[in-house]
């Protein structure tokens, strides 16, 4: 069994924020793979389905970002899951828009959602880091992540969420580098990253 956690802030005010791309990704996984209707529990909302032969529970915490760990801990305890069975989808300032990296453990780089999760369950869970770009100066980070994606961003945001959802079974199978490559190739095929930077 796997727990896929999308990070974001609840409510329509935040729905299109850069900080909410984790919610957007798990929403698209639910849509693409015919997950059950969302239901409220564990300080959040969950949806379940079988993906590539494995039971997967999607979780969107309805606490605010800095309390995300409460929801993750409740769900992990209920399903008796260890850190290695938990995957968190998060916005990542340190990656260019539309890039994806998967890693287990490591630093939290000031991300309040990750800080809360690590405080509640430990640090050795998998993170799917979804690049949103950096505003350039530290003072602008807060407003950057809590602002909506620009209209011009929407094509790559939608393409990224679709590519993540289409290849989510590779995360279930722990084929992280294959997942990264497939998402990258899908983005290239749709006309993003034409100026390949080898990053």
Q: Is residue 197 in a domain? A: no
Binning the chain into helix, strand and coil, the percentages to the nearest 5 are 45, 20, 35
The CATH number that applies at residue 166 is 3.40.50.1470
Instruction: Convert the pLDDT of each residue in 34-89 to its tens digit.
Output: 999 999 999 999 999 999 999 999 999 999 999 999 999 999 999 999 999 999 99
Positions marked catalytic: 19
150 and 24 in contact (C-beta within 8 Å)?
no
Q: Is residue 196 in a domain? A: no
Give the total number of structural domains in the chain. 1
Instruction: Convert the pLDDT of each residue in 139-153 to its tens digit.
Output: 898 899 999 999 999
Q: Is residue 124 in a domain? A: yes
21 by DSSP, 3-state: which?
Answer: helix
| Bridging pattern class, strands 54-61 and 86-92 | unpaired
| Bridging pattern class, strands 54-61 and 44-51 | antiparallel
Q: Is residue 198 in a domain? A: no
**Whole domain around residue 174: which residue ranges?**
2-189
What is the share, in percent, of the chain residues with pLDDT greater than 90?
A: 88
Q: Is residue 199 in a domain? A: no
Q: What are phi and psi of 126, to 5 degrees?
A: -85, 140
- For the entire predicted model, the pTM comes to 0.94
């Amino acid at each position: 069994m796997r727990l896929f956690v999308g990070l974001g802030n609840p409510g329509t005010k935040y729905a299109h924020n850069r900080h909410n791309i984790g919610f957007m990704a798990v929403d698209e996984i639910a849509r693409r793979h015919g997950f059950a209707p969302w239901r409220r529990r564990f300080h959040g909302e969950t949806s379940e389905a079988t993906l590539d032969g494995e039971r997967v529970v999607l979780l969107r915490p309805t606490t605010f970002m800095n309390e995300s760990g409460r929801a993750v801990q409740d769900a992990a305890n209920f399903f008796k899951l260890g850190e290695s069975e938990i995957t968190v989808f998060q916005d990542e300032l340190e990656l260019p828009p539309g890039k994806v990296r998967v890693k287990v453990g490591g630093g939290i780089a000031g991300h309040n959602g990750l800080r809360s999760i690590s405080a509640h369950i430990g640090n050795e869970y998998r993170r799917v880091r979804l690049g949103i770009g950096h505003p350039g100066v530290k003072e602008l980070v807060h407003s950057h992540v809590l602002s909506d994606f620009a209209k011009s961003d929407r094509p790559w945001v939608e393409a990224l969420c679709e590519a993540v959802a289409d290849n989510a079974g590779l995360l279930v199978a722990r084929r992280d580098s294959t997942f990264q490559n497939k998402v990258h190739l899908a983005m290239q095929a749709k006309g993003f990253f034409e100026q390949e930077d080898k990053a």
